A and B are shown apart, each in its own frame.
Chain A
Amino acid sequence: MKCLVTGGNVKVLGKAIHSLSRIGDEVYFQPLEDGLSLRSVNLSRSAYGCFLFAPLFFQFYEYTSCSDEDQDTNESFRCKVLMKSVLNVFRSLSSLEKTVEKCRISLNPKTSRLVIQLLCKYGVVKTHNLSFQECESLQAVFSKDVCPNVLRAPARVLVDAVVHFPVTLSEVTLAPSCGGRVIFRNYLEEETDPSKMMLTEMTLNEDEFLHFQISKESEITFCLKEFRGLLSFAESSSLPVSIHFDIAGRPVVFSLEDPVLEVHFVLATLSEQEVSGSQKLARGSCTKDDTRLPPSEAAADDFLSDDIDSYMIAMETTTVEEATANGCQPPHSPTFPLKGSGRAEGSSSILLKPGGRRKDLSMLSNNKPGSESEEEEEEPGEVPGTPPNKKFRSLFFGSVLSQRDALHHTGLSEEVLAEASDVEEES
């Protein structure tokens, strides 16, 4: 792959990297026929961001699919690079604007380098040869069309809404009402004494939105830091932000669109059970080293009964580290009143067919969250001794491979329950 970005688009590219840096530690470069895709996912797989730059964004865009003998299919080259390495290239947005005239990116599998060259004023050339790792396709599958609730607002309005919340706030709750108002509220974290925290609520009116469609009243709670990452990009590009969402627990999709650029941020939301009505219940914070949570009862039921295609977000990539981490680390769950709900997560759950019984769920998961949940069942509502470190359910279940296979995962598996490539980013 080779491409050339010129003029103001260099800064746009830089801003996209800054934006993705709020999500994960790695940038996935995926050149496609319809453009260059930059993606990132966080460690707990509860946030995913994707920027798709159409060929017209570039002064020059050359995409060649190469066939790799190791793989049976003709695949475009993909790689992932450390976020901080790429961020270093585009670190100062103001200097990008002032001094960089062109940016040339080329992916060369033979030298194993992603080369980013900045051609600057005065003939100065900055060349960065970044090492990368080959990787699987990072692809979130989601369908915005089936979301019952859709809001669209100018970025400025949303920025004005979140400015009232402290920079350190982890999660925010978005609560639109059928009556035509949209409320943003700060979400209290686990172990926070509610009599010590200031609660802030910001109300926007329906008429501030370009589009307001609430078919199913719900409140969703998601990570503010990641949302802010998207907002800062939206604000600088003056694009309106679309928000597609469903009930609590289902992911929320933020998107921006422009003739040459498509941006999607998919964030997990706390499920109904986890939020439990008032904000006063303590929750773990959305940190990068969170382990997976068992889904709540409601979600488990949904999972079992709904059409999986329509809502599940599937992830096709796994790395050895992640798989081992999932397998070995017993996750901690926060205070769930887990009356009689079985839970299982991770790859094991995908192996189940819809309609499986609760007992099956718990039996299948040995080292998995399920075993934790059995203890929990005995003591509903018990606060675990160790601080829970994750509350967002992973958006992305492991691949269809069994745990054993996951450890040796090499090729891209096509066997996901929700279609991968075709259903990508329906708009």
Chain B
Amino acid sequence: MRFRAKIVDVSCLSHFSRIVNTISRLAKTCTLRLADDKLYFILSDKVANGGVSMWCELQQGNFFDEFQMEGVSAEHNDIYLEFMPENLSRALKTAQNAKTVKIKLTKKHCPCLTLAVELPSLSASSRIVTHDIPVAVIPRKLWSDFREPSVPDFDVSVYLPALKTMKSVVERMKNLSNYVIIEANRNGEMNLKIETDLVSVTTHFKELGSPPWVFDDATQSSSQDRDPETMAEARVDIRKLQQFLAGQQVNPTKAICNIVSKRIVHFLLLHEDVSLQYFIPALA
């Protein structure tokens, strides 16, 4: 297994750093999958995560100037690593005005992702900072745990309202309640609701469009026959929702929310060169 990559462009570097920052706010430990053309940050829905799962996919060509990898074998040309994104985030933080950033898979005291950052200096030669981020190689027999999740058979799909507004509202609601109900209908209406002994709060978002999903075969989605007024709802742990919203640093090109009533809420954020999916299970 081998991996080496290089970033030289400052905007690519800052964009990559922002993505890693977001990931570090969503997961303490996650899986990094390296493929020929893409990088993935994956969190699978274990009980330890509260059933939350995440799938983030980047086109490597949009970030790296050089990218070479050799997976475990020719047919399985992938590398799966478990690591703490916080480490990568921290390493990238002080690299913002770097001339180059190189990333390599190395074996030090344990397998590591080594970052070598070349920084400008007052003298002729550059300053070099290296960070050895410990990783654990995930054996091939466990790769099935990290398969790409399929888009759920949702009851309702809407475009999300301004993330900034949602973030602010959910943060306040978090002070008042542990759970929040997310509901939406085909008319482009979405509500966030909390109710406790002391207070009940409902925020109404309107005129949210419906994303143009294409249903591939005869199996119509359950959402097609739905009465446009009927809300699909899911009651979720408010901290998970707040964590997801707080982690977003850049406004996505498209932000979609799919709800399977009483089962799961699926967020899909699309940027130019990266997509992020986040699943929050509904609670009873």
* Contact flags B177-197 to A (C-beta < 8 A → 1, else 0): 000000000000000000000
* B121 near A200: Cβ-Cβ < 8 Å: no
* A208 near B129: Cβ-Cβ < 8 Å: no
| A-chain residues with CB within 8 Å of residue B90 when the two chains form the complex | 166, 198
Q: With A and B bound together, what is the CA distance between A274 and B183 in angstroms? A: 61
User: Is A197 in the interface zone, CB < 8 Å from B?
Assistant: yes
Q: With A and B bound together, what is the CA distance between A319 and B43 in angstroms? A: 56
| A-chain residues with CB within 8 Å of residue B87 when the two chains form the complex | 198
List the A residue with the shortest CB-CB distance to B112.
Answer: A199
Picked from A194, A208, A278, the residue with its CB within 8 Å of the CB of B121 is A208
| B-chain residues with CB within 8 Å of residue A197 when the two chains form the complex | 134
| B-chain residues with CB within 8 Å of residue A416 when the two chains form the complex | none
Picked from A154, A199, A205, A280, the residue with its CB within 8 Å of the CB of B131 is A199
Interface residues of A in 187-210 (CB under 8 A from B): 194-205, 207-208
User: Is B108 in the interface zone, CB < 8 Å from A?
Assistant: yes
List the A residue with the shortest CB-CB distance to B119.
Answer: A160
List the B residue with the shortest CB-CB distance to A166.
Answer: B90
User: Is A164 in the interface zone, CB < 8 Å from B?
Assistant: yes
User: Is A157 in the interface zone, CB < 8 Å from B?
Assistant: yes
* Majority SS at the chain B contact face: mixed
User: Is B79 in the interface zone, CB < 8 Å from A?
Assistant: no
- Given A164-B129, A203-B129, residue A157 in contact with residue B134 (CB < 8 A): no
User: Is B48 in the interface zone, CB < 8 Å from A?
Assistant: no
Give, as a whole number of angstroms, the nearest-CB distance from A155 to chain B: 13
User: Is A124 in the interface zone, CB < 8 Å from B?
Assistant: no
| B-chain residues with CB within 8 Å of residue A164 when the two chains form the complex | 94, 129, 131
* B127 near A203: Cβ-Cβ < 8 Å: yes
* A203 near B134: Cβ-Cβ < 8 Å: no
User: Is A163 in the interface zone, CB < 8 Å from B?
Assistant: yes
Interface residues of B in 181-226 (CB under 8 A from A): none
| B-chain residues with CB within 8 Å of residue A208 when the two chains form the complex | 121-123, 127
* A200 near B130: Cβ-Cβ < 8 Å: yes
Q: With A and B bound together, what is the CA distance between A194 and B90 in angstroms? A: 18
Q: How large is the interface on A (under 10, 10 to 19, 20 to 34, 35 or more residues)?
A: 20 to 34
Picked from A163, A195, A198, the residue with its CB within 8 Å of the CB of B94 is A163
Give, as a whole number of angstroms, the nearest-CB distance from A347 to chain B: 40
* B110 near A200: Cβ-Cβ < 8 Å: no
List the A residue with the shortest CB-CB distance to B123.
Answer: A207
| B-chain residues with CB within 8 Å of residue A207 when the two chains form the complex | 123-125
Picked from B109, B127, B130, the residue with its CB within 8 Å of the CB of A205 is B127
Q: With A and B bound together, what is the CA distance between A61 and B122 in angstroms? A: 40
- Given A163-B94, A199-B132, residue A194 in contact with residue B110 (CB < 8 A): yes
| A-chain residues with CB within 8 Å of residue B110 when the two chains form the complex | 194-195
Q: With A and B bound together, what is the CA distance between A195 and B125 in angstroms? A: 32
* A205 near B121: Cβ-Cβ < 8 Å: yes
List the A residue with the shortest CB-CB distance to B108.
Answer: A199
Picked from B108, B127, B134, the residue with its CB within 8 Å of the CB of A202 is B127
Interface residues of B in 29-85 (CB under 8 A from A): none
| A-chain residues with CB within 8 Å of residue B245 when the two chains form the complex | none
Q: With A and B bound together, what is the CA distance between A205 and B129 in angstroms? A: 12
Q: With A and B bound together, what is the CA distance between A280 and B108 in angstroms? A: 11
List the A residue with the shortest CB-CB distance to B88.
Answer: A198
User: Is B23 in the interface zone, CB < 8 Å from A?
Assistant: no
* B134 near A204: Cβ-Cβ < 8 Å: no
* Contact flags B103-143 to A (C-beta < 8 A → 1, else 0): 00000111000000001011111011111111010000000
Q: With A and B bound together, what is the CA distance between A160 and B123 in angstroms? A: 14
Q: With A and B bound together, what is the CA distance between A164 and B110 in angstroms? A: 22
User: Is B156 in the interface zone, CB < 8 Å from A?
Assistant: no
Give, as a whole number of angstroms, the nearest-CB distance from A163 to chain B: 6
* B91 near A200: Cβ-Cβ < 8 Å: yes
Give, as a whole number of angstroms, the nearest-CB distance from B118 to chain A: 10
Q: With A and B bound together, what is the CA distance between A163 and B110 in angstroms? A: 25
| A-chain residues with CB within 8 Å of residue B136 when the two chains form the complex | 195
Interface residues of B (CB under 8 A from A): 87, 90-91, 94, 108-110, 119, 121-125, 127-134, 136
Q: What are the 10 A-B residue pairs with the smallest beta carbon separation, nearest first?
A: A207-B123, A195-B110, A199-B132, A198-B87, A205-B125, A203-B128, A202-B129, A164-B94, A201-B130, A208-B123
5 A-B residue pairs with Cβ-Cβ distance under 8 Å, sorted by A, are A163-B94, A194-B110, A198-B131, A198-B132, A278-B109
